[in-house]
Structures are given as structure tokens and as C-alpha cells.
């Protein structure tokens, strides 16, 4: 993350200098900072609502029930998380909301999942394998029906805006498999490296 | 299909907000109002906690976009992907997707306008945009929420996943269209 962050800023400043876009770069700096805070504030409303709902579901034992139902899948994805742990229920709700395209609901559930995973974390500043797997899976875009893309296609006058759905589902499934395999391999590699370092 | 997806999301959330507390109160005798407030308390703190993470990453991405450095990245990668037959017009929006969803969608709209949404490039861009995610934003929000600074291999694994999504999209589009 350190390297990528520096690369983004470094490339921006060099490119801004070479192409004479420095004023744009400077403006973008401050407007992006403002946008970031607006985004964070914008999340608060939905987050408060769904975290409240999540607690009700938790107190009613629904989150645990969900975790239990999905146990076979989660044993493979998150082997370090104890069975029936509330983290698994939150993860299930996050995946469910993402698949249905309910982004506003998905984020609070995902944050709840991260908080639950953090309770299992011995080193609070460093991500666990379960966290890495969970976040990486998001990169495969879990959404089944890409509503946003279909709307864009329709707006552009496509004869059949939803004809790309099958392809999208295929590509999402493939990248999901890659996400799982790559995360597991990295986890193993990091574990080996740590062992070698300790010895 | 779009109508179905839209109306599904309009129905699911209200039904959840009624269904979960109703079940909790009627079956499990949960004090639903108190329980809701207890859980909702955390909302604001989390919003504040993710702010530094979001500012750090969005500022870097905003600067990168404004500087036009994307052209260089495209210039470096272009020969590789053209060799594989991947249309270079689809490259910038695909690379942008991990950084900024709104920018990537704007670039896709531009492609739809120029090439048409039903052209091969238009379809390819549609599949790519639908099967990749704004990785940097997701990472900032999720790790920010628990104040985890060392994300270890998440970024590397996520970027590999993004690339695999683009490759898979290209392969399936070649087969389908």
C-alpha cells in the first residue's frame, strides 16, 4: 500500500509538471479531500440505520443462524474464524446485499464483519488472513445483476441493454475463484515467511 | 431484467426492516427499539474513523486523475494488450475501474457514445465494468473502519483479482459476441 500510494502521488506530480497540469493536480488534491469527507459523512446515515438493524438481527439469533447455514462455504474461505462466530453472519449478510446490488446495505454489514473479525485479531494494526480474503473477494464485484452498467447501456441507446449479464456473471465467477485461490496462496506464503523469519 | 433488479432492491430492504424486528419481537422477545439504538450508536464513530483512510486514498487518486498520468500507464500496458487482441480503446476505463467508479463509468459512457453500446468494444466494456470493483475505495472503507493500517497482501491479491476479471471478461466476450 505504501508503494502504490507513493507511486500514485509521484506519477501525478511528475505528469502534472511535464504536461503543465500542476494547477489541476493542486485543485484535485483539495477537492478530493473534501469529497472523501463528504463520502464518509454520506455513509453515516445508512450505516447507523443498518448497524441498528444488524443488532436487532443479532439479538434475535438470526446472524448466528445465517452463519450456521453457510458453514460449509465459510470453512473453506475463512478457516481461522470459529464456527458460528458472528463475523460469519455479518459476512453472509454483506455478500447477500452485494449480490443483490444493495450497496447502501452492503457496506455497513461489511464494516460490521470487519469489526467482528478484528475481535479475533491478535495484532490490531495488521490485517488477518480472514480480513484479506474478505476484502479481496469484493474486488471480483459480487453483484449478480450489474444495474449501473445496464442503465448506462440503456441511456446510450442499446437495443438490448441486459445482454451482457451472462458474460458479467461468468467474469465475476472467474475472478471470484481467482480471488479465493490467490488469497489462500498469499496466506500460506506469508505464514511460511513468518516461520522462516522466526527460526 | 433491469426492472426486476430495480424493483427487487426496492422491496428487499423495506421487507428486511419490517421482518427482522418483527421476528425478533414476536418470536425472540427482543426489546427491538433499545436493541436498534444500541447497534446504531456506532454509526457515527465509524464514519469518523474511516475519514483519514478515505482522504489519503482519494487525494492520491484525484491527483493521479487530474495529472493525466493515466496516459502513461495506458502507453506502457497498451503494447501487451494489443498483442493479445484486446481493443486498446477499452483499456483506460478498465484501468480506472479499480481507482474510481464514477470516472470509469463516465469513460464507459464516452465509449458507448463513440463506438455504440452494442459494438464489441461496448459490450466488452460493459462486462468489464460489471465484473470489477473500486478496490481502493473498498479497502479504505473496510480497513479504515477497524483502524487496521497494515493490509498485508490484500492490495496485491485484489489487483490480481481485478486483472483476472478483465481477462475473463475479454475471453467470454470473444466467445459470446
Cβ of A120 under 8 Å from any chain B Cβ?
Answer: no
Do B10 and B33 reside in the same domain of the chain?
Answer: yes
Do B55 and B123 reside in the same domain of the chain?
Answer: yes
Of B1, B123, B142, the CB nearest to A145: B1
pLDDT of amino acid B93: 93
Total tally of structural domains belonging to chain B: 2
Total tally of structural domains belonging to chain A: 1
Of B35, B123, B164, the CB nearest to A174: B164
Do B32 and B48 reside in the same domain of the chain?
Answer: no
Q: Which residues in chain A touch residue B93, judged by CB atoms under 8 angstroms apart?
A: none
Range of the domain at B17: 1-40
How much of chain A is in helix, strand and coil states, percent to nearest 5?
80, 0, 20
Q: Which residues in chain A touch residue B13, judged by CB atoms under 8 angstroms apart?
A: 102, 104-105
What CA–CA distance (Å, rounded) separates B141 from B58?
A: 11
Of B47, B57, B112, the CB nearest to A41: B47
ipTM of the complex: 0.91
Of B58, B73, B153, the CB nearest to A132: B153
Do B61 and B106 reside in the same domain of the chain?
Answer: yes
What CA–CA distance (Å, rounded) separates B32 from B61?
A: 42
Do B63 and B97 reside in the same domain of the chain?
Answer: yes
Do B131 and B108 reside in the same domain of the chain?
Answer: yes
Range of the domain at A43: 2-198
CB contact under 8 A, B40 and A101: no
CB contact under 8 A, B157 and A182: yes
CB contact under 8 A, B50 and A40: yes
How much of chain B is in helix, strand and coil states, percent to nearest 5?
80, 0, 20
Among chain A residues, CA nearest to B101:
A148
Do B144 and B155 reside in the same domain of the chain?
Answer: yes
Q: What is the mean pLDDT of each run of 10 residues along chain A (199 residues)?
A: 89 91 91 91 88 90 85 89 89 88 85 95 95 94 84 90 90 95 95 80
Do B59 and B36 reside in the same domain of the chain?
Answer: no
Do B105 and B161 reside in the same domain of the chain?
Answer: yes
Instruction: Determine the distance in angstroms separating the CA of A136 from the nearest CA of chain B, rounded to an integer.
Output: 5
Angle at B127 between CA B165 and CA B80, to 5 degrees: 55
Cβ of A25 under 8 Å from any chain B Cβ?
Answer: yes
Q: Which of A111, A104, A106, A78 is closest to A94 using CA atoms?
A: A106
Do B79 and B30 reside in the same domain of the chain?
Answer: no
pLDDT of amino acid A97: 86
Instruction: Determine the distance in angstroms separating the CA of A168 from the nearest CA of chain B, rounded to an integer.
Output: 5
Cβ of A88 under 8 Å from any chain B Cβ?
Answer: no
Torsion of CA B70, A148, A4, A105, to 10 degrees: 160
Do B15 and B58 reside in the same domain of the chain?
Answer: no
Using 70 as the pLDDT threshold, list the residues of chain B that sit under it: 1-9
Q: What pLDDT digit, counting tens, does each position of A92-145 carry?
A: 999 988 887 777 788 999 999 999 999 999 999 999 999 999 999 998 888 888
Do B160 and B90 reside in the same domain of the chain?
Answer: yes
CB contact under 8 A, A146 and B17: no
Amino acid at each position: 500500500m505504501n508503494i502504490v500510494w507513493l507511486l500514485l502521488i509521484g506519477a501525478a506530480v511528475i505528469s502534472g509538471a511535464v504536461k503543465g497540469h500542476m494547477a489541476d493536480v493542486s485543485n484535485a488534491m483539495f477537492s478530493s479531500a473534501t469529497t472523501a469527507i463528504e463520502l464518509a459523512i454520506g455513509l453515516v446515515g445508512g450505516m447507523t440505520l443498518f448497524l441498528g438493524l444488524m443488532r436487532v438481527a443479532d439479538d434475535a439469533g438470526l446472524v448466528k443462524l445465517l452463519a450456521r447455514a453457510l458453514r460449509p462455504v465459510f470453512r473453506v474461505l475463512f478457516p481461522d474464524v470459529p464456527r458460528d462466530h458472528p463475523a460469519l453472519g455479518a459476512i453472509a449478510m454483506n455478500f447477500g446485499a452485494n449480490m443483490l446490488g444493495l450497496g447502501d446495505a452492503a457496506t455497513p454489514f461489511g464494516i460490521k464483519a470487519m469489526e467482528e473479525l478484528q475481535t479475533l485479531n491478535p495484532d490490531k494494526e495488521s490485517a488477518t488472513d480472514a480480513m484479506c480474503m474478505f476484502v479481496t473477494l469484493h474486488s471480483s464485484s459480487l453483484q449478480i445483476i450489474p444495474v449501473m452498467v445496464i442503465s448506462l447501456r440503456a441511456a446510450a441507446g442499446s437495443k438490448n441493454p441486459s445482454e451482457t449479464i451472462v458474460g458479467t456473471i461468468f467474469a465475476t465467477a472467474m475472478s471470484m475463484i481467482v480471488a479465493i485461490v490467490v488469497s489462500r496462496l498469499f496466506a500460506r506464503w506469508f505464514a511460511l515467511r513468518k516461520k522462516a523469519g522466526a527460526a | 431484467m433491469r426492472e426486476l433488479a430495480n424493483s427487487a432492491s426496492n422491496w428487499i430492504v423495506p421487507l428486511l426492516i419490517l421482518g427482522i424486528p418483527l421476528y425478533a419481537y414476536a418470536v425472540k422477545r427482543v426489546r427491538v427499539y433499545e436493541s436498534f439504538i444500541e447497534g446504531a450508536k456506532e454509526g457515527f464513530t465509524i464514519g469518523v474513523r474511516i475519514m483519514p483512510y478515505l482522504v489519503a486514498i482519494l487525494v492520491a487518486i484525484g491527483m493521479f486523475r487530474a495529472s493525466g498520468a493515466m496516459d502513461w500507464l495506458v502507453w506502457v500496458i497498451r503494447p501487451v494488450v494489443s498483442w493479445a487482441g484486446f481493443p486498446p480503446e477499452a483499456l483506460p476505463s478498465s484501468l480506472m475501474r479499480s481507482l474510481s467508479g464514477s470516472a470509469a463509468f463516465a469513460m464507459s459512457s464516452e465509449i458507448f457514445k463513440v463506438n455504440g453500446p452494442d459494438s464489441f468494444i461496448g459490450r466488452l466494456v460493459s462486462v468489464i465494468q460489471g465484473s470489477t470493483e473500486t478496490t481502493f475505495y473498498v479497502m479504505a472503507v473496510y480497513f479504515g473502519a477497524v483502524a487496521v493500517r497494515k493490509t498485508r497482501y490484500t492490495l496485491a491479491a485484489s489487483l490480481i483479482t481485478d486483472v483476472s476479471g478483465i481477462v475473463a471478461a475479454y475471453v467470454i466476450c470473444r466467445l459470446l459476441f
